[in-house]
């Protein structure tokens, strides 16, 4: 079956540090890959996405590249801010937009 694995949290960083949150997936075929963010007290928001191998999704300084050979979609940001503190979810959809499978989430805390 389809599944998503993320690095365990919580992750605590100082402001302006480099961020990597690892995500690997198991799926048949060519799923679409997503990163969602959940800020405290809010619903899930799409952060970025990639729909085919070697695509790079980017938004708000965050980036992730769809690596089919390593079945990975790691999230990176060069310089985090306190406002980036949130829970980050990696997800896949085997048929774009449907039947989403989410990872368990990684909580990020950024300290000033």
Partner 1 sequence: ETGVTQSPTHLIKTRGQQVTLRCSSQSGHNTVSWYQQALGQGPQFIFQYYREEENGRGNFPPRFSGLQFPNYSSELNVNALELDDSALYLCASSLSATYEQYFGPGTRLTVT
Region near partner 1 per CB under 8 A, out of 10-18, 38-46, 56-64, 72-80: 38-46
Tokens of 24: 């690997």
Q: At closest approach, how far in Å is the CB of 12 from partner 1? A: 17
Q: Are 46 and 105 in contact (CB under 8 A)?
A: no
Beta carbons within 8 Å of 14's beta carbon, 6+ residues apart: 110, 111
Residue span 43-62 as binding mask against partner 1, x where in contact by CB under 8 A, dash where not: xxxx--x-------------
Q: Are 26 and 2 in contact (CB under 8 A)?
A: yes
Q: At closest approach, how far in Å is the CB of 41 from partner 1? A: 8
**Given the rule CB under 8 A, which residues bind partner 1?**
4, 36, 42-46, 49, 89, 91, 95-105
């Amino acid at each position: 079956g389809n599944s998503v694995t993320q690095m365990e949290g919580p992750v605590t960083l100082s402001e302006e540090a480099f961020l990597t949150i690892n995500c690997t997936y198991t799926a048949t075929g060519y799923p679409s890959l997503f990163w969602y963010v959940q800020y405290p007290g809010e619903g899930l928001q799409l952060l970025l996405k990639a729909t085919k191998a070697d695509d790079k999704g980017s938004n708000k300084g965050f980036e992730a590249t769809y690596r089919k050979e390593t079945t990975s979609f790691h999230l990176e940001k060069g310089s985090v801010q306190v406002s980036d503190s949130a829970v980050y979810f990696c997800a896949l959809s085997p048929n774009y937009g449907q039947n989403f499978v989410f990872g368990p989430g990684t909580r990020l805390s950024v300290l000033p």
